[in-house]
Structures are given as C-alpha cells and as structure tokens.
Structure 1
Amino acid sequence: MGCAISGVTPKSGGDGNADVGLPHLSDNQIQMIKESWKVIRDDIAKVGIIMFVRLFETHPECKDVFFLFRDVEDLERLRNSRELRAHGLRVMSFIEKSVARLDQLERLEALAIELGKSHYRYNAPPKYYSYVGAEFICAVQPILKEQWTPDLEEAWKTMFLYVTGLMKQGYQEEERMRLQQDSTSPKERPDKRNTAL
C-alpha cells in the first residue's frame, strides 16, 4: 500500500485531461469512506497540516501556487503556520462535504466543478490536484491504523480521482469562458473611428 494514487484512472485525452470517463464508486466503497471519515474528522486540523507539509516536501513546485507559502523553506515554520492550518482546514472541509454528498452525486458534482472554477481564478492548475489526494491518503493511514485496508485505500483513491476529474472539468469550463470573454472584450474589438477608409 503506497502513498501514490494509482490503479483506477479517469479516461483522458492526449492532453492528459480527464473527460467523461470518471471512475465510479460502489455502494460498498461509499460506506467504507463514510465509516473511516468518522475517525478521520476527529483529527482534521492535524491531517490538513500533515497533508500540505508533505505536499510541499514531495512536490516543492506546488508552493508556487500558494502566495503565502511560496518563499517559506523551513518546513517547521510551515507546520506552525496559522495560514497553512487555515488552508488545510478549508481543504478538509471540502473533503468532508464531498464525503457527505457521495449519496447525492449531483450536489457533489456541482461542488467539485465550482471548486475547479475557483482554482482557475487562483491560478492553481489541475496537474497538482492528484497530489493532494495522495498526501491525504498518506496522512490518514496512521490515524486509521488497523482499519486501513487495501480496499479502503482503493475507495479513497477512487473518490479523489472522481472529485479531481470534476474539478478539472470546472477548471477547463472557467478557462474556456475566460478565453471567450477575452477574445470579445472591448479592448480587443477594433475601434471604428481609427480604421482606415
């Protein structure tokens, strides 16, 4: 049982972006995730910090997305950062909402797509999304101890692949909309007064 998300992967086009082939969670996987979340949620602040410190250790390029942490080299300083704790709690809150909506996929889809759109506005590209899921899995294994099984790991991996696939869709929708807006914005339109006759 490693800490990387592997196995079930969304279908993707040649550019590596997910399309309609998002993974499917079985009823049994949903139940396993919900049961394990009852234990994890008691340590959400701790998990959030561990997850992001590990993310910055294993993928230091991710810090470029985070304005507040971009220049922080001291990981101990990060562990004690109020800002990192706050961001970790926001991510854990999103995970909690995702778990709660596993039985209401339309609501989960809307939530994840909207988060993907906001990540476009934050300039946080989809290539980083799967890293967070992998670090979450590493952070919760010690908390769940003997409850952690290969089946539970696969369930969490599948959930993260599903959610990040939807986030990528949201990111791409926002990107397309912004590009269309930019191409039709007034500054791009020729000024009729200045055109040659």
Structure 2
Amino acid sequence: MACFSEKQEALVKESWMVMKEDIPALSLYLYKMILEIAPEARGLFSFLKDTTELPQNNPKLKSHAVKVFKMVCEAAIQLREKGEVVITGSTLKYMGTVHVQKGIVDSQFEVVNH
C-alpha cells in the first residue's frame, strides 16, 4: 500500500482544519454533487430517502458528513504514521460496516472521485 508523504498528510490535516469550520455547508455540497452524478444514490442514505431536496438543516446529514470527513483525515494520518490504515475501533470500521450492510460495492465509490 502506498503511504502518504509528510506533505500529503499535512495537506489533509490542514484541509480538515478548514473543513470542520463549515461542515454543514460542505456536507450539503458533497451530497449535492453525489446526487447530481448518481441520483440513484438517494435511496442509500436514510436521511435522504423521503425527500426530493437536500435537507439543509438535517442533523443526520451533518453528522454523517463529519464522520466521512473525519475518516479521511484519520486514514491519511494512519497511512503516514503506520504505512497502513488500521480499522479496529475507528470511524472507518463503523462506516465500512454500514456500507457492507447496505450492499455498497467498490464501483459506487467512484462518484466521489469527481
């Protein structure tokens, strides 16, 4: 597995510091982009199933976004420090469990690469 360089880790940490200041707006933007690219993904999120719009003040959406952004930061730090991502007891493990339960496959993650 490729490791993050010190510079890459620093960029992820700096990005996290900026992102966590405005999680509500960023979470709306993230899910807006996901749903524009893959509208069928709406049914995968319990907090989006019963609405045709992004709920701007939805606490579940905000909470989910915090977990996703935090997971990326945790993974980058672990890659740099350990050369691997250890999932025991981490946000990544929880998120992985949810994705497995929902039957998410690797190809569905491609939407967030855009």
1:36 and 2:15 aligned: yes
Unaligned runs of 5+ in 2: none
Unaligned runs of 5+ in 1: 1-21, 135-197
Match of 1:94 in 2: 71
Identical pairs, percent: 21
- 1:53–1:79 CA contact under 8 A, matched in 2: no
Match of 2:111 in 1: 131
Take 1:93 and 1:56, find their aligned partners in 2: how far apart are those partners?
21
Take 1:92 and 1:60, find their aligned partners in 2: how far apart are those partners?
21
TM-score, with normalisation over the residues of structure 2? 0.69
Q: Deviation at 1:126?
A: 2.2
Of 116, 119, 135, which residue of structure 1 is paired with 2:96? 116
Take 1:48 and 1:133, find their aligned partners in 2: how far apart are those partners?
15
CA distance 1:70–1:105, change in 2 (3 Å) = farther
Match of 1:169 in 2: none
1:32-84 CA-partner distances (Å, limit 9, x unpaired) = 32233332232233212221122112211111212331242123xx2232222
CA distance 1:103–1:56, change in 2 (3 Å) = same
Number of paired residues? 111
Please, what is the CA RMSD of the aligned residues? 2.8
Take 1:50 and 1:64, find their aligned partners in 2: how far apart are those partners?
18
Q: Deviation at 1:120?
A: 0.7
1:83 and 2:81 aligned: no
Take 1:92 and 1:130, find their aligned partners in 2: how far apart are those partners?
17
TM-score, with normalisation over the residues of structure 1? 0.45
1:117-162 CA-partner distances (Å, limit 9, x unpaired) = 441123222222232354xxxxxxxxxxxxxxxxxxxxxxxxxxxx
